[in-house]
A and B are shown apart, each in its own frame.
Chain A
Amino acid sequence: AQSVTQLGSHVSVSEGALVLLRCNYSSSVPPYLFWYVQYPNQGLQLLLKYTTGATLVKGINGFEAEFKKSETSFHLTKPSAHMSDAAEYFCAASWTSGSRLTFGEGTQLTVNP
């Protein structure tokens, strides 16, 4: 079955340090890929998405992600973490033109002062 895996349920970084959140999908057919962020007591907000074309995708709040087909990965990065980045991050994939969306398990990001 097609799936999405996020390595590391918890990631902790210092303020100003690089943020790297990992996401891999399990299919030889590249899906549409998304990163969402969830702040406490809120719904999910779209950070960025990959459809086709440029493999480096820029999103909101300084985040970006690189699609690597050979590695079936779509890792999320931010050069310098801010305290306000503390949240849970979800990678998601869609392999169809319909409304089926498969989420990873989520990664809780903690930013230390």
Chain B
Amino acid sequence: EAQVTQNPRYLITVTGKKLTVTCSQNMNHEYMSWYRQDPGLGLRQIYYSMNVEVTDKGDVPEGYKVSRKEKRNFPLILESPSPNQTSLYFCASSLGGGNQPQHFGDGTRLSIL
């Protein structure tokens, strides 16, 4: 089954404790992205990647890091999480950019205390 898999689905942690949210897709997609969803703000793009070793900032990259060492994986790293990063996070992948629709994972709910 074609899917984007995120782990963990839920995480409660404390300020400053480094964490990684993993994302993996099995569709051989070139493009991958991370979003955060906050009430009243919709989804905002954090980082995106158009190929292995090619990443770029989205609209809200501060406080986040990403890497794309393999085509299928695109982890999101919070090196020193803060409470304002409490949010619902989605990973997505697509065959290409522009008019290609994105396929979303089921989300990761992060709570930073």
Residues of chain A whose beta carbon lies under 8 Å from any beta carbon of chain B: 4, 6, 9, 32, 34, 36, 41-46, 49, 51, 90, 92, 94, 96-106
Known contacts being A9-B40, A43-B90, A105-B42, is A96 close to B97, with CB within 8 Å?
yes
- Known A-B contacts A32-B98, A43-B104, A46-B101; the reply to A99 vs B42 at CB < 8 A is no
Interface residues of B (CB under 8 A from A): 4, 31-33, 35, 40-45, 48-50, 56, 58-59, 90, 92, 94, 96-99, 101-107
Contacts of B96 in A (CB 8 A): 97
Tell me if B's interface is mostly helix, strand, loop or mixed.
strand
Distance between Cα atoms of A90 and B49 in the complex (Å): 22
> Which B residues are CB-close (under 8 A) to A42?
106-107
B105 to A43, Cβ gap below 8 A? yes
**Residue from B32, B45, B99, B102 in contact with A51 in the complex, judged by beta carbons closer than 8 Å:** B99
On whether the beta carbons of B102 and A101 are closer than 8 Å, the reply is yes
25 of the cross-chain contacts (CB-CB < 8 Å) are: A6-B42, A32-B98, A32-B99, A42-B106, A43-B104, A43-B106, A43-B107, A44-B90, A44-B102, A46-B103, A92-B43, A94-B98, A97-B98, A98-B31, A98-B48, A98-B50, A98-B56, A98-B97, A99-B48, A99-B50, A100-B45, A100-B48, A103-B35, A103-B42, A105-B40
